[in-house]
Amino acid sequence: MRNYATVVLLIGIIGIAGCASKSNPEAEKAAMQSAQAWLSLADSEKYVESWEEAAEYFKSAISKDKWQETIQAVREPLGKTVSRKLKSKRYMTSLPGVPDGEYVVIQYNTAFENKKSAIETITPMLDKDGKWRVSGYYIK
């Protein structure tokens, strides 16, 4: 069985302490809506659509086919999503390994059919067109 601590994609948020952070409730709200819509696609196994709805940064980092292959390999063994509860959200303007910009790092306590306790980290960013889109996704 695969190691579920595998980074699914992009923003390797190893330690966000020391990164630029401030409060921005409006950005957090918009980013949360974007994350929830994107997670709905992933939960419904609409992996191609999740790639299409992702940030330009995300799409430039991984091809549609490679994304579908990667997320399918990680999510399928987990089974269906049973529950997802917000753990934290944090507006950031700087994160390790990515260009400065506007990001919201969101973590959920998630239960899957075959993994009862996981932490999902999803990171929407403010894209060049002014819309919040997912730029990174990680399951631990």
Q: Is position 10 within any domain?
A: no
Q: Which residues, in sequence order, are CB contacts of 25 under 8 Å at separation 6+? A: none
Residue 12 confidence (pLDDT) above 50: no
Q: Is position 48 within any domain?
A: yes
Q: Is position 36 within any domain?
A: yes
Q: Is position 93 within any domain?
A: yes
Q: Is position 110 within any domain?
A: yes
User: Would you say 135 and 57 are in contact if contact means Cβ atoms under 8 Å apart?
Assistant: yes
Q: Whole-prediction pTM value?
A: 0.84
Over residues 120-125, mean pLDDT: 97
Structural domain including 83 reads 25-139
Q: What is the pLDDT of residue 20?
A: 53
Q: pLDDT-based confidence at 96, cuts 50/70/90?
A: confident
Q: What is the pLDDT of residue 111?
A: 98
Q: Is position 11 within any domain?
A: no
Q: Is position 13 within any domain?
A: no
Q: What is the CATH number of the domain that holds 101?
A: 3.10.450.100
75-87 confidence digits (pLDDT tens): 999 999 999 999 9
Average pLDDT, the chain: 87
22-56 confidence digits (pLDDT tens): 788 999 999 999 999 999 999 999 999 999 999 99
Q: For the range 128-134, what are the long-range contacts, defined as Cβ-Cβ under 8 Å and sequence gap of 24 or more?
A: 128/56, 131/34, 132/27, 132/30, 132/31, 132/33, 132/34, 132/104, 133/34, 133/38, 133/53, 133/54, 133/55, 133/56, 133/58, 134/34, 134/35, 134/38, 134/50, 134/53, 134/54, 134/55, 134/58
Q: What percent of the chain has pLDDT over 90?
A: 79
Q: pLDDT-based confidence at 19, cuts 50/70/90?
A: low
123: tokens are: 């990171």
Question: What is the domain count for the chain?
Answer: 1
